[in-house]
């Protein structure tokens, strides 16, 4: 089985970067054909861009994480605006709102989110959205400002919220939690997401799928999430791989510039 895409992996974070070549090799051996490397600062982005020179299977996304917003400076935004010009940076993300870890700085998070959405519009690049305990505000901002499409990453919300995400025109990506034994409500969500809006991811090095929970996650494990989605949607793996690759091309490559 080849052609699976991991649309969200922090392979240039310190936890994985010291063995990144092995991480990429084992992913490729497992059937992964593309990894979208997520960078959250200049160092991570420069590491990821170096990897694109070595591996055709690596694309890059860069964005400033919502929980980091209170500690960021104008220089951080300038770094993003500079690095995001690189054609290997195919998306702005992950960006969004997180009221689980930070309820105190909602306005700062919102301002940073909107600023990065506007940057994505200027560059005609999609966004990768982080939404945790902040569905109402996230959806409101997306309805008002989003012009370039994107992915709601590591989706963990309700069926109803997923339908609203789809109405906005976004794609939805599932990570390890869809495989967890306690994912009772979440397993209903992929059933309402059409194939042309569907992705999978690892969010490595976090959220390792069942039955490997307790170990460090990496892109090769996206296969477990992929298999779970095929089971839940009762679809053939080859059909999902074909759709996933079409979705990826249309969202990240086939853009009117």
Binding residues for a divalent metal cation are 8, 10, 94, 130, 153, 203
β partners of residue 36: 59
**139 and 166 Cβ atoms separated by less than 8 Å:** no
**8 and 153 Cβ atoms separated by less than 8 Å:** yes
Determine how many CB atoms are found less than 10 A away from the CB of residue 124. 11
In 3D space, the residue among 156, 188, 192 whose CA is nearest the CA of residue 175 turns out to be 156
- The whole-angstrom separation of Cα 90 and Cα 122 is 13
Phi, psi (deg, nearest 5) at residue 106 = -60, -45
Question: What would you report as the CA-atom Rg of the chain, rounded to the nearest whole angstrom?
Answer: 17
Q: From the annotation, which residues make up the binding site?
A: 8, 10, 94, 130, 153, 203
Structure tokens at 180: 């967890």
Instruction: Give 232's contacts (C-beta < 8 A, 6+ positions apart).
Output: 178, 187, 190, 191
**120 and 61 Cβ atoms separated by less than 8 Å:** no
- The whole-angstrom separation of Cα 142 and Cα 137 is 9
Q: Which helix (H) or strand (E) holds 199?
A: strand 198-200
């Amino acid at each position: 089985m080849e052609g699976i895409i991991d649309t969200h992996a922090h392979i240039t974070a310190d936890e994985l970067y010291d063995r990144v070549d092995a991480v990429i090799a084992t992913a490729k051996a497992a059937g992964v054909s593309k990894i979208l490397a997520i960078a959250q600062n200049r160092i991570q982005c420069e590491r990821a861009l170096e990897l694109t020179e070595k591996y055709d299977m690596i694309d890059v996304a860069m964005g400033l994480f919502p929980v980091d917003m209170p500690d960021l400076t104008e220089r951080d935004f300038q770094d993003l605006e500079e690095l995001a010009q690189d054609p290997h940076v195919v998306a702005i993300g992950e960006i969004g709102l997180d009221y689980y870890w930070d309820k105190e700085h909602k306005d700062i998070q919102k301002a940073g989110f909107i600023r990065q959405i506007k940057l994505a519009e200027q560059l005609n690049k999609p966004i990768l959205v982080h939404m945790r305990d902040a569905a109402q505000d996230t959806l409101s901002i997306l309805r008002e400002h989003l012009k370039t499409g994107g992915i709601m990453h590591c989706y963990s919300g309700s069926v109803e919220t997923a339908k609203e995400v789809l109405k906005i025109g976004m794609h939805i990506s599932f990570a390890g939690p869809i495989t967890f034994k306690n994912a009772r409500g979440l397993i209903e969500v992929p059933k309402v997401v059409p194939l042309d809006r569907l992705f999978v991811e690892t969010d490595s090095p976090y959220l390792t799928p069942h039955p490997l929970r307790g170990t460090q996650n990496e892109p090769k494990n996206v296969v477990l999430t992929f298999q779970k989605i095929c089971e839940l949607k009762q679809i053939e793996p080859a059909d999902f791989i074909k759709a996933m690759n079409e979705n990826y091309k249309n969202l990240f490559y086939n853009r009117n510039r």
